Amino acid sequence: MKTTELVTTNMTRRKFLAYGAAAAGAAGFSGGWGGRASAAVKPEVYAKAEAAGFPKPKFVQTNGIRMAVYEQGEGFPIVFSHGFPELGYSWRHQIAALSKAGFRAIAPDQRGYGRTERPEKVEDYDIHHLTGDLVGLLDALKIEKAVFCGHDWGGAVVWQIAHLHPDRVAGVIAVNTPYMPRAPMNPVEMLTKMRGENNYIVYFQQPGVADTLLHENVDKAFRAFLRKSDLTAEQFAKLPADSPVRNFDIKMMIEAGGAAGGKYVCSEDELAYYTETFRDTGFTGGINWYRNIERNWKTTEGQPQKLEVPAMYVGAQDDVILPPSMQEATAALVPGLEMHTIMKCGHWTQQERAEELNTLLIGWMAKRFGRA
């Protein structure tokens, strides 16, 4: 497979994230772990995080759900939107740095994750609900406008909130996730043809299957996910077209667990925060975001392609899922876009290269909005 094919495939993933789709045949599936997050997580896990400076949650009502929110600092507000399988905790380094630099840093556990409620219906996780949650969060915190900063799926959410709720958006910062043109066909069908049935996004469409696989292998899953890649983007592009690694085969990734890949992007205590939380909540809430890919794609049809909003894109040189080569398309669609690439960095940028990312975030925020 040529490099151009690799870029096209990864662009497709961004398209589903941004414009998304309803669960192919999974509508109405609630999974085994719906409802409100319980208090079953070992208390010492959260206590260690708080002792290290991570704020205690406050709870707000937004868009029909109870949401856990972690915030710190004063000044112009910046709302952080996490990806899969992550939490508001994924932004711990940014909360600390941005609040210290004179900004109000806000990071929720988003719909379906962590200590935030998890509705039962798949369709309750579409892009309109996800963006509506963040608007409701602003209302609950009595904030008129904020900068929205997202990574991975969260990047898709913040690009879309600028379309769907432009009056509440002062700016957008996308970490790894480019803004792309609308997919020409159902993104899940497109990905199935390119990557096959075991690609994680395709696999996620089956009711209950991936939910069970991940919940029964929580430790293996996070030891497979939250680590630096042992391949550069150049090496990844040279893998055979049928390579399970290249096709992001979820079952292979789970089976490998901690036996494959580079160094972890977090400590054992930080890893425990994720594993204990997801052991309690399961993965269905987050997977349901993927089950709305087709629905999102359909309901955003006719949306303008260009986006007029102050924006910054920060790519990572060795992110093989969302490569920075896609930033050229983003620049064409977002006038005045500021672009950066963090070198020798993989997918988990805000944890893997926190200091470099924080410098870019603080610089952009200070230039645009000043410090408290």
What are the residue numbers of the active site?
152, 347
Q: Tell me 327's DSSP state.
A: H
Radius of gyration of the chain (CA): 19
3-state secondary structure 16-33: HHHHCCECCCCCCCCCCC
Instruction: Give the count of alpha carbons within 13 A of 164, CB side only.
Output: 22
Q: How far is CA 91 from CA 151, 208, 307, 357, in A?
A: 10, 29, 25, 11
- Rounded CA gap, 128 and 295, in Å? 10
Half-sphere exposure (CA, 13 Å, Cβ side) for 83? Answer: 23
Question: CA–CA separation, 66 vs 59, rounded Å?
Answer: 6
| Residue 259 CB contacts under 8 Å (≥ 6 apart), including other chains | none
Beta-sheet strand order (sheet of 311-316): 58-62, 65-72, 103-108, 76-81, 146-151, 169-175, 311-316, 338-342
**257 in Cβ contact with 224 (< 8 Å):** yes
119-137: string of b/e by CB count within 10 Å (b at 16+)?
beebbbbbbbbbbbbbbbb
Question: CA torsion angle for 128, 130, 132, 136 (degrees, to 10)?
Answer: 170
Tokens of 319: 């992110």
- Pair of tokens at residue 268: 């054992």
Residue 162: name the closest of 325, 335, 292 by CA: 335
